[in-house]
Amino acid sequence: MNYESLLIRVGLIFNGNYKKNIWISCSTIDKPGKKKGSYFITDEGFILWKNWRTGEHGAISDYGLRVNKKVIYKKIEEKTLPPLVLKFMKCTSHNYLERKKCVLTDNLMINYDNLVIPMHDFEGNVMSYQSINKDGGKLFAKGRPTKGLFHLLSNNSDSKTVFITEGYATGNAVYQCSKYDTYVSFSASNILNVYNKLSKFGCRPIVVCDNDPVGTDLSNSLLSVIIGNKGEDFNDVFIRVGKCQATALLLDHVKLLG
């Protein structure tokens, strides 16, 4: 199989590593000096690929034909994800959660001293995770997708109104104050992906933006609120003024949206 020609079709450069069932870093055609891509070769001859610079990803066969990504993701999940997740312990406490005044939920885990937050797709699969150390440093699982993934804080509310936040601590604060389903998108660039998907499902997503230039840009194009002083996110407000006042601020801003 000519992996080199297959990957060139999607803008990646094959690095000569034929090992199967693991993500392998590689360069992209437009940035040959940097490893901004990755590929995954399955036993069936499929290649899953990701361009981390552009956010594009997909799956191709040995004939260069597009194949069903859901099927391939499922195969990869069966081969590689359970060992990564099942070896983690259930989280009972963490310095980051305590410092951010986050309520502990059942689906958080611990890997050594790091908090592990599962990242789901809209089919319910755990596709990746974010780890946070005690100082707040954040890393995504290497070689795994992030686009369109989220972590859901839910009280099984029937309301069509849902919230979207960038970071987990912000989402946790929003959830404590509203009790509405809250989707953590993990990055500002991923908010729109989650927003569009929820809108298609008939939800009324409201983005709780950070009060920074990126948050301001998002608020100009999406149904959103910005709460707090310049440079703050809603978790900062939650810590500064307390849950009761933060709840009042959030609900007052939402009422103004109509």
Where in the sequence is the domain holding 187, given as residue range(s)? 89-256
The helix (H) or strand (E) run that includes residue 117 is strand 114-120
- 240 and 178 part of one domain: yes
Q: Among 107, 236, 226, which residue's Cα sits nearest to residue 169?
A: 236
pLDDT of residue 251: 95
Residue type, 168: Y
- 129 and 225 part of one domain: yes
- 154 and 195 part of one domain: yes
- 54 and 106 part of one domain: no
Whole-angstrom distance, CA of residue 233 vs CA of residue 212 = 8
- 45 and 153 part of one domain: no
Q: How many helices (H) and strands (E) in the chain?
A: 8, 15
**Which of 80, 107, 128 is the last residue before a domain boundary?**
80
Whole-angstrom distance, CA of residue 181 vs CA of residue 155 = 6
- 69 and 100 part of one domain: no
Q: Is the pTM of this model over 0.85?
A: no
**Which of 80, 106, 124 is the last residue before a domain boundary?**
80
- 138 and 220 part of one domain: yes
- 19 and 119 part of one domain: no
**Which of 50, 80, 110 is the last residue before a domain boundary?**
80
Q: What is the pLDDT along the chain (258 residues), one digit of tens a residue?
A: 578 888 888 889 998 888 887 788 889 888 887 888 888 887 767 788 888 777 777 777 654 445 454 555 555 454 444 455 556 888 999 999 999 999 998 889 998 889 999 998 887 778 889 999 989 999 998 888 899 999 999 887 778 899 999 999 999 999 999 989 999 999 999 999 999 999 998 899 999 999 999 999 999 999 999 999 999 999 999 999 999 999 999 999 999 997
pLDDT of residue 161: 92
pLDDT of residue 79: 46
* Alpha-carbon dihedral angle through residues 13, 16, 20, 22, given to the nearest 10 degrees: -60
- 208 and 93 part of one domain: yes
**Helices 243-256, 168-178: crossing angle, 10 deg rounding:** 80
Q: Name the domain count of the chain.
A: 2
CATH of the domain at 235: 3.40.1360.10
- 155 and 196 part of one domain: yes
Residue with token string 């260069």? 64
Whole-angstrom distance, CA of residue 78 vs CA of residue 81 = 6
pLDDT of residue 80: 46
- 112 and 69 part of one domain: no
- 107 and 231 part of one domain: yes
